[in-house]
Structure 1
């Protein structure tokens, strides 16, 4: 079962898409959007985590700036997403991540974060600032934050053909975080998104398996 809920955060009230498993939860997962809002794709990702046994919560991070944002993947949508991301800022976004995690933790759930692109960087900040085990899928804006110390297990997924995250950026991750596994795939940016040309089914399937294995270990 999946539905919208209201979430109180230090950045103000936001909606969050909540998906619950059919049985006893294995834990909680905060699902962190790309710059396109909690659209159909991100809601489907949350529901997929619920099918895997987790209570998934995807906060609508843009709500403090503009409520109800659901963008597609055209050029104009990308430009609008960048505007909203910049207007919100990383600190307010991180506060929302913490509030979403706190809600799940208040229900007795060991909780992690999984994010995509911008959300991948926010998952990293969920680790360094809120102590959440976290998985970052192609987090393209993490390098400026690599001086923040990890407080929990961390996993990274990157595509070798992702021009937004060049090899030198990945190497910076390796040097700064030698104990965090980094997986490279023969894929472009957004290879997990099953909408559009960047989807790489084999890479997405392998990354998903590794993500579930990571969560099973980190949240046990």
Structure 2
């Protein structure tokens, strides 16, 4: 289901805002709110959460992607290069504030681009928990202070991130690293996917959320 928050920000929604469930802000990869991200939204809702995923590219024109194209990554990089980061943070914070207003607890879960965006959002608007999968902008955000209870996943063969540099700057966060897994290893596209790392990371995400953002199903 898709709706709009005040100000016109479109969001995909799993569950009812009126439900007595904690809320999770799900933040997209550079590929947008793709079928994969929508599946993760459904997965999180199945765990007992009300979930929203904002269309962070909503202010841009020409953002349609062809997931079958061999130039998919280049296309997505072209889109994200046109994005105003500060406006993206503002939009994501607005979505988190919407969840906070429900008064039932909040979490942020982000993948790749969304993992970095989620870190920035958590630094300025303090959800209860943050789950970041290989946040692509983390290297530029480490001066920010995140007080939320946090979980980070990284692949040890990630060629986009210097994981050894990032991890020591994450403070008390729970961090897991996965051998033979590269960047975006949770994405099911063959160019990225590592099935073993994906499955283990998701089990750890489920456990982390159950411990730190419990639901009536927990």
Coarse TM-score class (shorter-chain normalised): 0.7 to 0.9
Unaligned runs of 5+ residues in structure 1 are none
The aligned residue for residue 198 of structure 1 is 192
* Matches of 2:9 and 2:70, distance apart in 1: 26
The aligned residue for residue 140 of structure 2 is 144
* Matches of 2:213 and 2:65, distance apart in 1: 30
Displacement after TM superposition at 1:205 (Å) = 1.4
Question: What pairs with 1:108-147 in structure 2 (closer than 5 Å)?
Answer: 108-132=103-127, 133-147=129-143
The aligned residue for residue 179 of structure 1 is 172
Question: 1:57 aligns to what SS in structure 2?
Answer: strand
Unaligned runs of 5+ residues in structure 2 are none
* Matches of 1:185 and 1:95, distance apart in 2: 32
TM-score by length of 2: 0.88
Determine if the alignment matches structure 1 residue 64 to structure 2 residue 59.
Answer: yes
The aligned residue for residue 76 of structure 1 is 71
* Matches of 1:34 and 1:207, distance apart in 2: 17
Q: Is the 8 A contact 1:7 1:14 kept in 2?
A: yes
TM-score by length of 1: 0.87
Tell me how many residue pairs correspond in the alignment.
211
- CA separation of 1:73/1:158 partners in 2, compared to 1, >3 Å: closer, same or farther? farther
- CA separation of 1:218/1:89 partners in 2, compared to 1, >3 Å: closer, same or farther? farther
Determine if the alignment matches structure 1 residue 163 to structure 2 residue 159.
Answer: yes
Cα RMSD, aligned residues only: 2.1
